[in-house]
Amino acid sequence: MSNRTPSATIVVPAYNVAETIGETLQSLLAQTFTDFEIVVVDDGSHDRTLAVVRAMGDPRIRVIQQPNRGLAGARNTGINAARGAYIGFCDSDDLWRSTKLAAHVAHLEANPQVGLSYSGSELIDAASRPMGLAQRPRLRGVTAAHVFQRNPVGNGSAAVLRRAALNAIAFRPAYEESRDWWFDERFRQSEDIECWMRLMLTTDWEVEGVPGLLTRYRVVPGGLSAGIARQYQTWEAVVAKLSRLAPGFVAAHAPAARAFQHRYLARRAISSGDGAEALRRTRAAWAASPRALLREPVKTATTTLAAGVLAALGPNAIARLARVAGRRAT
Amino acid sequence: MIRIAHLVDDTTAGGVTRYLDFLRQDPQMARIADHQVCVVPRHAPARAGIDADMIVSHLAITWRGLPGLMALRARHSGLPLVHVEHSYSEGFTAANVTHRTRFHHLLRCAYALFDRVVAVSAAQAGWMERRGLVRAQALDVIPPCVDLAPCTALEAPRGPVRVLGAVGRFETQKGFDVLIRAFRSLPDPFLRLALFGEGAARAELETLAAGDPRILFPGFTARPEEAYAACDAIAMPSRWEPYGLVALEANAAGRPVLMSRVDGLKDQAARGNTPVTELSEEAWTDAIARLTEAERPEIDRSLATARPTRDGWARLVEDLLGENEGERLAQTA
């Protein structure tokens, strides 16, 4: 490990990821911007994760081990250990394009008001092959309402933040004795959106994107839809928390955000072949805010149609429909 | 004697009005200058005839008011022009401004018209610097003040904290909604929460408090020391607070304050107050429980004084008028 303070830190939370973390770390070590450290937080893995990381043998990688605290808890430990002025996050099954860190560091240095810099993402499958799908979010003029409704940051491996912006949202629950929290460890899902929203509702740091699909975000299809109801409950708990921070804002924007959240979960249900759940979520989306849904008519129509077809005709019909529609993902 | 004209467009009861009363009435402030308060039309401060050696704006900056400030600068081009920023802060921006870049432009344009911009807290000044709103050499920090004598005359409370007070306008800014929810989940039947104030959110707060006889609404009091006298500790769960005069008064009265960690309250935690790092029911319930169950935190009352305010103005006046004043007096002699 070098004694010099690196400009940037990449935090990699790792829990039982021996299969994928090697490729993740290789993509990080190949960054064209080279003045960085990687902090891998082994969050209580009981597979060979640690051995894989150690075998990388690169002095820029530091490993911190802790008993399992969840994704937010692993990221927080990484932030706490980070020495860089810029702190990025890469989940241990995702990949960074080699120019990603350079793009975000340049963006943050040129724009002192920006606290969080993100990029679009290319979706890859279990074998790291492009799925032909991408997240191409809005990049400029991002308001708190945009983040709440459509989360342009997109996934947990897209953001690089300024240390000062993270400092502004640090907090510490009464029972926490060892270090601050940045992400709220009480949430096991939606912890990203909660953190980004807290940044936007309690500080005046701006959130802005850079062009390019600089993150390669792994989507393993066919996941169970059983978690969808719980994921929705967690999202509502996040909304309840935010409504204390900014009651007027949440009252004004929650219906639209809720519609998009239901639509997103409907698409998840569709891809896991659960027609009944997809239909339930689609109905809930329309009940929450038709006006919000009609702002993106094509995506809303395909989701609604797919949910209906899936519920009526089963998964095979959907696969054919998806090929015809040639949609963009998530 | 140096004459300072303090411009305001709003004389309703509130922190700014009380601060101006202090500037006008404090004997030590009178040694620095003769302070006059001029009520001016909201968007046309230059229309008022002003006869003074220095002009201090306490106006809220808006796009609509910007031409008026330009006219003020033009009409009084030879006079030092100072702006005191009572309204805006990082927390304000976060909570109220959708298009931040545009808002920062407004503030930069407005502040550039003044010889000095006075921040009311170091935290607010830090925000102005970070966002490049003011040239560093034009930025000053002078905390506001009120007549603290009625508060310092109070005896410090003794024994455990039983009555928690909240003082301020009933508006979203003050976060009293979170305070009431947090207080309700404490089981102790002997605790009291007294909310002193009035405002648009009164009905909402009363609804939140309904059915809990421990929560009291004694109303607004023009003599805030009476509110502090009735409480063992004060809660300020504010969503933003450029300075937060209530914390200064409460400390002068020997009352500890539980406070959000926002804006100017960050400066004021140092007197022994307890910052609460999250604006959530859970965090505030924890904080109140600790305050009422553990020993009362020691407040350094000697730090809650008008001295930083008086010294700040003396320094500012000396900086802006020191030499000129000497010349002017020589000419009139």
Domain residue spans in chain A? 8-218, 244-325
Mean pLDDT, to the nearest integer, of B18-45? 94
Nearest CA in chain A to B177: A244
For residues B22 and B264, give the distance between their C-alpha atoms in angstroms, rounded to a whole number.
Answer: 20
Q: State how far residue A10 is from chain B, nearest Cα, in angstroms.
A: 25
At A258 the three-state DSSP class reads helix
Mean pLDDT, to the nearest integer, of B145-151? 97
Between chains, do A174 and B290 touch, taking CB under 8 Å as contact?
yes
Between chains, do B99 and A143 touch, taking CB under 8 Å as contact?
yes
Q: State how far residue B127 is from chain A, nearest Cα, in angstroms.
A: 9
A5-23 confidence digits (pLDDT tens): 999 999 999 999 999 999 9
Between chains, do A202 and B132 touch, taking CB under 8 Å as contact?
no
Q: What is the 3-state secondary structure (H, E, C) of chain B?
A: CCEEEEEECCCCCCHHHHHHHHHHHCHHHHHHCEEEEEECCCCCHHHCCCCCCEEEECCCCCCCCHHHHHHHHHHCCCCCEEEEECCCCHHHHHHHCCCHHHHHHHHHHHHCCCCEEEECCHHHHHHHHHCCCCCHHHEEECCCCCCCHHHHCCCCCCCCCCEEEEECCCCHHHCHHHHHHHHHCCCCCCCEEEEECCCCCHHHHHHHHCCCCCEECCCCCCCHHHHHHCCCEEEECCCCCCCCHHHHHHHHCCCCEEEECCHHHHHHHHHCCEEECCCCHHHHHHHHHHHHHCCCCCCCHHHCCCHHHHHHHHHHHHHHHHHHHHHHHHHHC
Interface test with chain B among A179, A198, A201, A202, by most B beta carbons within 10 Å: A202
Sequence-ordered list of residues with C-beta below 8 angstroms from that of B163, at least 6 positions apart, any chain: B191, B192, B193, B194, B230, B231, B232, B233
Say which range, A89-93, A116-120, A264-268, has the weakest mean pLDDT: A264-268
Domains B3-146+306-332 and B149-303 fall in the same CATH topology: yes
Going from the C-alpha of B101 to that of each of A116, A145, A166, B69, the distances in angstroms are: 15, 16, 20, 21
Mean pLDDT, to the nearest integer, of B24-44? 94
Say which range, A2-11, A78-87, A141-150, A203-212, has the weakest mean pLDDT: A2-11
A282-294 confidence digits (pLDDT tens): 999 999 999 999 9
Between chains, do B177 and A113 touch, taking CB under 8 Å as contact?
no
What is the percent of chain A with per-residue pLDDT over 70, rounded to a whole number?
Answer: 94
B271-318 confidence digits (pLDDT tens): 999 999 999 999 999 999 999 998 778 888 999 999 999 999 999 999
| CB-nearest partner of B98 from A143, A174, A244 | A143
Average pLDDT value for chain A:
92
Buried b or exposed e, range B77-112, using 16+ CB within 10 angstroms = eebbbbbbbbbbbbbbbbbbbeebeebbebbeebbe
A222-247 confidence digits (pLDDT tens): 556 668 889 999 999 999 999 999 99
Chain B, 54 to 73: residues with Cβ < 8 Å from chain A are none
pLDDT at B325: 52
Could you tell me which of B295, B290, B300 has the C-alpha nearest to residue B268?
A: B300
pLDDT at B329 over 60: no
Burial category of A21 from C-beta neighbours within 10 Å (exposed 0-12, middle 13-18, buried 19 and up): buried
pLDDT band at A326 (very low <50, low <70, confident <90, very high): low
Q: Which amino acid is at A26?
A: Q
Range A8-218 has CATH code 3.90.550.10: yes
Cβ neighbours of A204 in B, within 8 Å: 90, 93-94, 97, 100, 127, 131
What is the percent of chain B with per-residue pLDDT over 70, rounded to a whole number?
Answer: 96
Between chains, do B279 and A174 touch, taking CB under 8 Å as contact?
no
For residues B231 and B157, give the distance between their C-alpha atoms in angstroms, rounded to a whole number.
Answer: 8
Q: State how far residue B75 is from chain A, nearest Cα, in angstroms.
A: 34
Domain residue spans in chain B? 3-146+306-332, 149-303
C-alpha dihedral, A254 to A256 to A261 to A266, nearest 10°: 140
- Domain topology for B149-303: Rossmann fold (3.40.50)
Question: What six digits make up the tokens of B214?
Answer: 């421990």
Cβ neighbours of B94 in A, within 8 Å: 200-204
Going from the C-alpha of B264 to that of each of B125, B142, B143, B216, B275, the distances in angstroms are: 9, 12, 9, 27, 12
| CB-nearest partner of B100 from A171, A204, A249 | A204
Cβ neighbours of A173 in B, within 8 Å: 278, 282-283, 286
For residues A29 and A40, give the distance between their C-alpha atoms in angstroms, rounded to a whole number.
Answer: 13
The Cβ of residue B75 has, within 10 Å, a number of other Cβ atoms equal to: 16
What is the percent of chain A with per-residue pLDDT over 90, rounded to a whole number?
Answer: 81
Between chains, do A203 and B94 touch, taking CB under 8 Å as contact?
yes
Average pLDDT value for chain B:
93
Q: State how far residue B146 is from chain A, nearest Cα, in angstroms.
A: 28
Question: What six digits make up the tokens of A30?
Answer: 């190949």
| CB-nearest partner of A204 from B93, B280, B283 | B93
Between chains, do B282 and A173 touch, taking CB under 8 Å as contact?
yes
For residues A252 and A12, give the distance between their C-alpha atoms in angstroms, rounded to a whole number.
Answer: 36
Between chains, do B280 and A172 touch, taking CB under 8 Å as contact?
no
Cβ neighbours of A206 in B, within 8 Å: 100-101
pLDDT at B92: 97
Q: Which amino acid is at A170?
A: A
pLDDT at B330: 47
Cβ neighbours of B127 in A, within 8 Å: 204
B99-130 confidence digits (pLDDT tens): 999 999 999 999 999 999 999 999 999 999 99
The Cβ of residue A241 has, within 10 Å, a number of other Cβ atoms equal to: 22
Between chains, do A204 and B131 touch, taking CB under 8 Å as contact?
yes
Cβ atoms of residues A279 and A311 within 8 Å: yes
Chain A, 210 to 269: residues with Cβ < 8 Å from chain B are 241, 244-249
Say which range, A102-116, A296-310, B277-291, has the weakest mean pLDDT: A296-310
Cβ neighbours of A168 in B, within 8 Å: 90
Q: State how far residue A241 is from chain B, nearest Cα, in angstroms.
A: 7
For residues B148 and B167, give the distance between their C-alpha atoms in angstroms, rounded to a whole number.
Answer: 16
Cβ atoms of residues A102 and A33 within 8 Å: yes
B39-59 confidence digits (pLDDT tens): 999 889 988 888 999 999 999
Decide if B177 touches A, using CB distance below 8 A: yes
B181-226 confidence digits (pLDDT tens): 999 999 999 999 999 999 999 999 999 999 999 999 999 998 999 9
pLDDT band at A274 (very low <50, low <70, confident <90, very high): confident
Question: What six digits make up the tokens of A83?
Answer: 């020495």
Between chains, do B172 and A248 touch, taking CB under 8 Å as contact?
yes
For residues B82 and B241, give the distance between their C-alpha atoms in angstroms, rounded to a whole number.
Answer: 21
Is the predicted ipTM greater than 0.95, yes or no? no
For residues A268 and A222, give the distance between their C-alpha atoms in angstroms, rounded to a whole number.
Answer: 9
B64-92 confidence digits (pLDDT tens): 999 999 999 999 999 999 999 999 999 99
Going from the C-alpha of A77 to that of each of A16, A85, A88, A164, A256, the distances in angstroms are: 17, 16, 13, 17, 34
For residue B217, how many C-alpha atoms fall within 13 Å in the half-sphere facing its CB? 18
Mean pLDDT, to the nearest integer, of A160-188? 96
pLDDT band at A329 (very low <50, low <70, confident <90, very high): very low
Between chains, do A113 and B131 touch, taking CB under 8 Å as contact?
yes
Sequence-ordered list of residues with C-beta below 8 angstroms from that of B202, at least 6 positions apart, any chain: B170, B217
pLDDT band at A219 (very low <50, low <70, confident <90, very high): confident
Between chains, do B98 and A144 touch, taking CB under 8 Å as contact?
yes
A252-268 confidence digits (pLDDT tens): 999 999 999 999 999 88
pLDDT at B332 over 50: no
| CB-nearest partner of A202 from B91, B130, B178 | B91
pLDDT at A328: 47
Range B3-146+306-332 has CATH code 3.40.50.2000: yes
The Cβ of residue B10 has, within 10 Å, a number of other Cβ atoms equal to: 13
Between chains, do A201 and B94 touch, taking CB under 8 Å as contact?
yes
B129-138 confidence digits (pLDDT tens): 999 999 999 9
Decide if A170 touches B, using CB distance below 8 A: yes
Cβ neighbours of A171 in B, within 8 Å: 277-278, 283
At A154 the three-state DSSP class reads coil
pLDDT at A135 over 70: yes
Cβ neighbours of A248 in B, within 8 Å: 172
Supply the pTM of this predicted model.
0.92
Query: CA B220, B226, B231: angle at the middle one, nearest 5?
Result: 95
Q: How many CB pairs under 8 A join A and B?
A: 58
